[in-house]
């Protein structure tokens, strides 16, 4: 008899095209990470969610639309964050010169996340990043 496959713990939320949505997405993520006892990677995850949400609002969410944030903590300790938007699927690093006030979001995600990427969806794209950690660093809620 095969055991049932284990599914990740997931949380999802939808945010309107509004500047307050980045803070709301960050707060939502912080609550999930606290529930999942995310520990030392919390700041990295929160910063990456902020950057991906900001990019979605600036480049991927037309007026009248929004973006979806999905968090999944897999049984192997991998935390995956996804930002779904309806913008074009191409991403570019911005101007990262010392004088620039913008353009460092994807650079930060590259430096902080263990993996990241972009997947097509219709319409738009999913920008995701993953954080690997052992069971002692990321744990899901206790089983009943």
Tokens in use for 40?
């030392």
In a domain, 144, yes or no: no
Segments forming the whole domain that contains residue 44: 9-92+101-131
Q: What is the pTM of this model?
A: 0.81
Residue 142 placed within a domain: no
Please indicate, yes or no, if residue 111 is contained in any of the structural domains: yes
Arithmetic mean of pLDDT, 23-43: 92
Arithmetic mean of pLDDT, 3-21: 83
The residue-averaged pLDDT of 123-143 equals: 69
pLDDT for the residue numbered 39 = 74
75 domain-assigned: yes
Burial class (CB in 10 A: 0-12, 13-18, 19+), 67: buried
- Give the Cα separation of 49 and 82 in Å (integer): 8
Lowest-pLDDT range of 46-50, 104-108, 113-117: 104-108
Q: What is the CATH number of the domain that holds 115?
A: 3.30.565.10
4 occurs within a structural domain: no
Q: Are residues 44 and 131 in contact, defined by beta-carbon separation less than 8 angstroms?
A: yes
Residue 138 lies in a domain: no
- Tell me if 136 is assigned to some domain: no
Residue 21 lies inside a defined structural domain of this protein: yes
Q: What is the pLDDT of residue 40?
A: 83
Please state the domain count of the chain: 1
């Amino acid at each position: 008899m095969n055991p049932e496959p284990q599914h990740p713990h997931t949380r999802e939320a939808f945010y309107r095209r509004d500047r307050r949505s980045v803070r709301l997405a960050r707060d939502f993520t912080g609550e999930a990470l606290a529930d999942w006892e995310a520990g030392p990677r919390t700041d990295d995850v929160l910063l990456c969610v902020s950057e991906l949400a900001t990019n979605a609002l600036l480049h991927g969410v037309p007026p009248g639309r929004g973006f979806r944030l999905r968090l999944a903590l897999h049984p192997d300790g991998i935390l995956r964050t996804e930002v779904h938007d309806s913008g074009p699927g191409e991403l570019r690093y911005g101007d990262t010169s010392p004088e620039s006030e913008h353009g460092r979001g994807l650079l930060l995600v590259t430096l902080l996340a263990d993996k990241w990427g972009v997947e097509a969806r219709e319409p738009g794209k999913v920008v995701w990043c993953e954080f690997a950690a052992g069971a002692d660093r990321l744990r899901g809620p206790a089983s009943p």
